[in-house]
Amino acid sequence: MVLPVIDIFVAAYVMRNSQDVNLVVIYQFAVYTGIPLTLLINGFLLQRIQIKRLYSLGMLLSGVAMAVMMSRGKLTLAGIGVAGVLMGMAFGLFWANRDFLALSTTSDSARNYYYGVETFFYTNTPRSRKTTVKNGAEIDGKQRRRFRCSIRGLWLFAQGQAAPSGS
């Protein structure tokens, strides 16, 4: 759920800073070229690198791709292409390893609960972000502590529900 939001943000960034629709199209083409390329490479990488490292690399690579693009003074065709392929590789590593990681690290009885907790946080994170900022100004310390406590409480509740039963 997060990756399409990142993709929309980056496309808007390219459009705003270049005023050129062609660069947005090239970026999208590069992203969707990087995804299948990475899915193919991922099979070979899994023989040598642990899945949790590949999954983490996918998430880190998305940040690197955005940093590469935003650190450039002027958006060029080559810069857009490289950033797009890097972002596509990030998407590929994330999606190729996400479900396999869940299958290999959870038991059958806890897997549905794991996906439920994951979906809960994916769904409610944008809503919770709205509570952290009011009218462009940060909330006060008391409200921030309340917010953190409620998120921690939800997380602890989820962990307690996902724990295997004694029988």
CA angle 35, 49, 155 (to 5 degrees): 80
Q: What is the pLDDT of residue 153?
A: 56
Mean pLDDT of 140-156: 57
More confident residue, 107 or 3: 107
Q: What is the pLDDT of residue 34?
A: 92
d(CA 93, CA 103): 16
- The set of residues, in sequence order, having a beta carbon less than 8 Å from that of 114 and lying 6+ positions away, is 102, 106, 162
Strand partners, 68: none
pLDDT digits (tens, 9 = 90+) for 40-67: 999 899 999 988 888 888 888 888 888 8
Instruction: Please state at what angle helix 21-45 crosses helix 2-18, rounded to 10 degrees.
Output: 140
Provide the pLDDT confidence category of residue 167 given band limits of 50, 70 and 90: very low
d(CA 23, CA 102): 36
Tokens representing 90? 């990030």
Mean pLDDT of 146-150: 57
Provide the pLDDT confidence category of residue 154 given band limits of 50, 70 and 90: low
